[in-house]
Amino acid sequence: MKNKKNKLPVNFIITLVIILGYIVIVLLNYSSYKDIISSNTKNITKLTSSNIYSDINSEITKPIFVGLTMANDSFLINWLETQENKDSIPLKKYLNGIKNKYNYDSVFLISDKTKHYYNNTGLFKNISTKNEHDKWYYKFLEETPLYDLDVDQDEAANHMLTVFINCKIYNQKNDFLGVTGVGVKMEKIQELFNTYESEYELETFLINSDGLIQAHSNSEKIEKENFFDTLDIKIKDKIINNKTSMCIFNYSNQGVNYFIITRYIPDFDWYLVVKKDTSFLIKSFYSQLIKDILILSLILFIILFIVSKLIKKHENELSEMAKIDALTNLANRRGFDETLEEAYSLYSNNKLNIFIFDIDCFKCINDLYGHVVGDKVLIRIGEIAKLHFNSPDFISRWGGDEFAGFIITSDVENTFDSFYKLIKEDEFLSKYNITISAGIANKKTSNTIDELLSNADKALYIAKQTGKDKYKFY
Distance, in Å, from the CA atom of 106 to the CA atom of 90, rounded to the nearest integer, reads 17
* Residue 53 confidence (pLDDT): 82
Highest mean pLDDT among 36-50, 239-253, 443-457: 443-457
HSE at residue 172, side-chain half, CA atoms within 13 A, is 2
Q: What is the mean pLDDT of residues 74-90?
A: 89
* Residue 413 confidence (pLDDT): 93
* Residue 256 confidence (pLDDT): 65
3-class DSSP state of 156: helix
3-class DSSP state of 115: coil
Contacts of 204 (CB under 8 A, 6+ apart): 52, 193, 196, 197, 216, 217, 272, 273, 274, 275
Q: What is the mean pLDDT of residues 276-288?
A: 63
* Other CB atoms within 10 Å distance of the CB of residue 90: 12
- Higher model confidence: residue 430 or residue 252? 430
Q: Is 269 left (phi over 0), alpha (psi -120 to 50) or beta?
A: left
- Higher model confidence: residue 38 or residue 438? 438
Q: For 52-66, 95-109, 303-317, which range has the lowest pLDDT when averaged over its residues? A: 303-317
Q: For 90-94, 243-247, 353-357, 395-399, which range has the lowest pLDDT when averaged over its residues? A: 243-247
* Residue 469 confidence (pLDDT): 93
* Residue 142 confidence (pLDDT): 92
* Residue 36 confidence (pLDDT): 55
- Residue 472 CA, chain-centre distance (Å), reads 58
> What confidence tens digit (pLDDT) does each residue in 303-320 have?
777 877 777 777 777 777
Domains of the chain: 10-52+188-284 (3.30.450.20), 60-182 (3.30.450.20), 333-473 (3.30.70.270)
Rg over alpha carbons for the chain, rounded to the nearest Å, is: 39
Where residue 146 falls among pLDDT bands split at 50, 70, 90? very high
For 371-420, give the DSSP string: HHHHHHHHHHHHHHHHHHS-TTSEEEEEETTEEEEEEE-S-HHHHHHHHH
